[in-house]
Homo-oligomer: A and B are copies of this chain.
Amino acid sequence: MAKTSTSIAALSSKGAWVGPLVYLAMLAVGVAAFLLIRSVGETLQPPAEVANEVAQAERAIPKVDVVFHVLATLAAIVTMGIFFGRALRYFGQPPVIGEVLAGIVLGPSLLGLLSPELASFFVPNAQQDPAGVVVSALTAVSRLGIVLYMFLVGLELNLPELRHKAHAAVAISHASILAPFVLGAALALWIYPRVSSADVAFTSFALFMGAAMAITAFPVLARILTDQKLDKTELGVLALSCAAADDVTAWCLLAFVIGMAQSQLSEALFVITGAVTYVAVMLLVVRPLLHKLLARFENQEFPSWMFPAVLVAIIISGLITKTIGIHTLFGGFVMGVVLSSNDRLNVVLRAKLHDLATILLLPAFFAITGLRTQITLLNTAEDWLLTGLIIVVATLGKFGGTLAAARLTGLSWRDSSALGILMNTRGLMELIALNIGLEIGVVSPRLFAMMVIMALVTTLATAPLLHWLWGPDHRKVRAAVSHT
């Protein structure tokens, strides 16, 4: 090393005058050489073109610049999400509302109405992109985000803790699911002849409406209670257990609906059996095995293959649930539950996955949701009446059901109401469920628009209602809604 140092020192002192000369000479030689090569080369004839399938296929694609549109859409959603989110924070509203609004603004409900040209700068219209390549690419990105997000949701379910501490919670939880479920199904009697279509059976429709009404935003609640340091109190554990049980139950219902809606009864039974078997194998066989494996790394760093292996496991789990006949996101969720309750792994995975998944990949989901939300379809008074009815029934079922069950278990009116308000928050989870409903065809675009409005309204209502209930404790309210 000593020799090297001297050499470089020598170079530096020589370099003062030799450097520039040598350098310029070198450049000149290089340029001259290139020009010489060029003058010879320009007389050359290229060969006759060779037929090439891939190149031809690729040349057939670039009618529309997929990458440009996808990146532009993501940038627009994230940017608007930041600004809307900050503006909404003044009103104590959670950031997710900002991104949903950003998606709706970019979609046919606003930008598509005001300036179709600008809207097609982000997502090209059906003439410019007949195969829907841009929407497909956005869907792929958004699905990646959703699967990772559901994995993180599953990761937060602390299974053994819930199992030991809160048997009573299951009863409250199921009451707070049953009420909105039955009310939602009853509402289907009114809605089905008005907004559904002939290829959807009433049973699937009613089941979906029930499940969609019953969904609550578990990750929100978990975050709220942790932030409030309520998660170790008895009220906190009760609320958390209720929400977790709600979540699992509602998603099971939804999986059931997906199985039903996409197949005949016999196939549906196959789907349900497959799903139950898969979850059982994952929780009863894979989970203990993996935790035994993880225990090996208790006192050392996780190996470098751990994170890629977890990503692969999440994706494969999603592909399996998809193959069984339910949605990819259940696979992500199940994998999250399987890996949950290892705190150290949980922290590592959250740190690596959470921000990029929620900030970069989920915006594609909001873009897709906004694109699908056509508020212009609600063009009669009856449509808006129906929308109002949906909001009332959703709130009555969830808030009312929770309140009643919580009172019955002996909670105070105030605590019961707070629990009801929190459980009535639909957030991102409801939007995920609604998109599934639209994809499998159970929900029509018109009903989709109504239900998205319901999800927005119930989420927006949380902060003002908590304000009203808790009075001037702004900090508490803000913290309670900031993670919706």
Which residues of chain A have a CB within 8 Å of any CB of chain B? 1, 3-5, 7-8, 10-12, 15, 19, 22-23, 26-27, 29-30, 33-34, 37-38, 40-42, 44-47, 49-50, 52-55, 57-58, 60-61, 66-68, 70-72, 74-75, 78-79, 81-82, 86, 108, 126, 131-133, 135-141, 143-144, 147, 167-168, 170-171, 174-175, 178, 181-182, 185-186, 188-189, 192-198, 200-203, 205-206, 210, 233-235, 238, 305, 307-309, 311-312, 315-316, 318-319, 322, 328, 351-353, 355-357, 359-360, 371-372, 374, 377, 408-412, 415, 444-446
Give Cα A351 to B411, complex, Å.
44
Closest chain B residue, CB of each to CB of A147: B71
**Residues of chain B with a CB closer than 8 A to A411's CB:** 4, 7-8
A4:B412 contact, CB within 8 angstroms? yes
Give Cα A277 to B108, complex, Å.
37
Closest chain B residue, CB of each to CB of A410: B7
Give Cα A446 to B233, complex, Å.
67
Give Cα A322 to B65, complex, Å.
11
A144:B143 contact, CB within 8 angstroms? no
A108:B318 contact, CB within 8 angstroms? no
| 12 contacting pairs across A/B (C-beta < 8 A) | A8-B168, A23-B171, A47-B193, A47-B197, A50-B377, A52-B377, A61-B132, A66-B136, A75-B319, A78-B315, A82-B309, A356-B356
Total copies of this chain within the assembly: 2
B356:A353 contact, CB within 8 angstroms? yes
* Other contacts beyond A71-B144, A75-B312, A78-B312: 6, CB < 8 A: A4-B233, A11-B168, A23-B170, A38-B203, A67-B140, A82-B308
A47-B197, A308-B81, A319-B68 as given contacts; A235 in contact with B37, CB under 8 Å = no
A140:B66 contact, CB within 8 angstroms? yes
Give Cα A12 to B169, complex, Å.
10
Closest CB of chain B to A301's CB: distance in Å?
14
| A203: contacting residue among B42, B170, B175, B194, CB under 8 A | B42
Give Cα A12 to B196, complex, Å.
44
B26:A308 contact, CB within 8 angstroms? no
Closest CB of chain B to A303's CB: distance in Å?
10
| A5: contacting residue among B47, B78, B234, B352, CB under 8 A | B234
B410:A11 contact, CB within 8 angstroms? yes
Give Cα A327 to B322, complex, Å.
36
**Residues of chain B with a CB closer than 8 A to A445's CB:** 52, 54-55
Report which residue of A34, A40, A196, A322 has the largest number of chain B beta carbons within 10 angstroms of its beta carbon: A34
B3:A412 contact, CB within 8 angstroms? yes
Closest CB of chain B to A37's CB: distance in Å?
5
A60:B132 contact, CB within 8 angstroms? yes
Q: Which 5 A-B pairs have the closest CB atoms?
A: A7-B410, A131-B131, A137-B140, A41-B202, A30-B178
**Residues of chain B with a CB closer than 8 A to A12's CB:** 168
| A360: contacting residue among B68, B72, B311, B318, CB under 8 A | B311
Closest CB of chain B to A468's CB: distance in Å?
20
